[in-house]
Amino acid sequence: MSNHTETPAASAAAHEHEHGGVAIYAKTLIALLFLTAITIAAASFNFGQGNVVIALAIATMKGSLVVLFFMHLRWDKPVNRIIAMAGFLFLGIFIAFCLLDFNSRNNYVPQNMHPTVIPLAPGTAPAGAVERTNPAALAAEGEKK
Amino acid sequence: MSTTSVDLQSHGQAAGHAAAHHDDPHHQHHFTTMEQQFDTSKIGMWLFLATEVLLFGGLFVGFGMMQARYPQEFVEAHTHLVRWQGSLNTVVLLISSFTMVLAVTAAKKSQKSKQVLFLSLTIVCAVIFLIVKYFEYAHKWEEGWLPGKYYSYKADPIPACTITPGPPTAAATTPAPNAQPCTNGYSTFFSFYFMMTGLHGIHILAGIGVLTWLLIRARRGEFSASYYTPVDLVGLYWHLVDLIWIYLFPLYYLIQ
């Protein structure tokens, strides 16, 4: 790929015509459809926490195929690759810091939204209702931790 | 001036190409060469796509947080989505990306009839996607699986809360003894569902708009090996819309 920097601008454009090709795009499409089938099949098994990891890993593989081959980033100029990578890098920083913040909190209900309680019809109080009268969010939080 | 020297240099180095492009009606005067003009457009498109990644990224982060907040409700709510419809739309969008890249290739090779064919196929795929989406939305509308306060489905395992704006009231903090807990999880799931698939759907609609514009221009034979910038850039946009769906599909239709 270092050819890009050495060749004059005019022949670089001619050079770009040679990349890709119907055969490569067809193989990319087949790989994408195959990975879609795998991710659907994997969702019918229960791997616990592993399910979301597998689903996102396959999605990232599919996304990489789209970006590298369909969007031509594999053969594109370095400046475009840097811009694309910068976008994903800052998205990664965004996600990582939000997860850090999220994991350090124990109550996620925003100040202006609070769960209310629905009164039951008289005489229909279920067993254990007294224990479950704490504000719903906090009670559910306690059970999950 | 350095501009002049670059101009002279490029004329000298690429005499054949520069001469061929010099009379090109698409060549704007503030660019030295057609290649420079093309590269500048492409950088602009990639910058736009980076902002699109961050736009959807914010929604994905919000979705992830609320899924961690309401894991049980999100799994229950996602069973209301029809998996085969989401899978069909995934396949349709992947095929549309393939036809789009073939349209770009045809434009680079100055093949007019192939450009028209593959641009039309891409538009057909986009329309199929929206038709499937229409049936999905209509079903959710009928069942009351709607965002936020419009959520009116009654058969959930945990009843939905009535969300009241403002600071907590005395009734909320000290509930009556015969009260049962409720949840905002289901309506939150559908708030994110409609926001994210809706914003994605708007991108599909915009895509149909620009693809139709390309189709009209391609029928006039405006794109060729010497000028295909619009086809290339719309192609990049269309693949990004596909890329976003690649992440939306497993997160909404396949979560456990």
Give per-residue pLDDT as tens, A73-88.
999 999 999 999 999 9
Q: How far is Cα A109 from Cα A45, in angstroms, rounded to an integer?
A: 32
Q: What is the pLDDT of residue B129?
A: 98
Residue B36, pLDDT > 80, answer yes
Angle at B142 between CA B141 and CA B146, to 5 degrees: 35
Q: What is the pLDDT of residue B27?
A: 85
Residue B16, pLDDT > 90, answer no
Residue B248, pLDDT > 90, answer yes
Inter-chain touch A67–B243, beta carbons under 8 Å: yes
- Who wins on pLDDT, B136 or A18? B136
Give per-residue pLDDT as tens, A56-65.
999 999 999 9
**Extended beta strands in B108-235, E state:** 179-180
Inter-chain touch B171–A116, beta carbons under 8 Å: yes
Region A20-35: what's the mean pLDDT? 94
What average pLDDT does the structure give for chain A?
74
Bin A122: left if φ > 0, else alpha if -120 < ψ < 50, else beta: beta
DSSP state of A75: G
Inter-chain touch A63–B69, beta carbons under 8 Å: no
Q: What is the pLDDT of residue B177?
A: 56
Give per-residue pLDDT as tens, B110-124.
999 999 999 999 999
Inter-chain touch B61–A98, beta carbons under 8 Å: yes
Q: What percent of chain B has pLDDT over 70?
A: 84
A62, A87, A108: residue with CB nearest B69: A108
- Candidates A18, A113, A134, partner chain B, best to mutate (most B CBs within 10 A): A113
Q: Does A77 touch chain B (CB under 8 A)?
A: yes
Residue B84, pLDDT > 60, answer yes
Q: What is the pLDDT of residue A7?
A: 39
Report the residue count for chain A. 145
Inter-chain touch B49–A108, beta carbons under 8 Å: no
Residue A119's H or E segment, with its range, is strand A118-119
Give per-residue pLDDT as tens, B208-246.
999 999 999 999 999 999 999 999 999 999 999 999 999
Q: What is the ipTM of this complex?
A: 0.83
Contact present, A47 and A81 (Cβ < 8 Å)? no
Q: Does A86 touch chain B (CB under 8 A)?
A: yes
Residue A13, pLDDT > 60, answer no
A14, A112, A132: residue with CB nearest B181: A132
Give per-residue pLDDT as tens, B127-184.
999 999 999 999 999 998 988 878 888 888 887 776 565 665 555 555 555 566 777 8
Per CB-CB distance under 8 Å, the chain A contacts of B49 are 84, 87
Which range is least confidently modeled, A15-29, B84-98, B138-152? A15-29
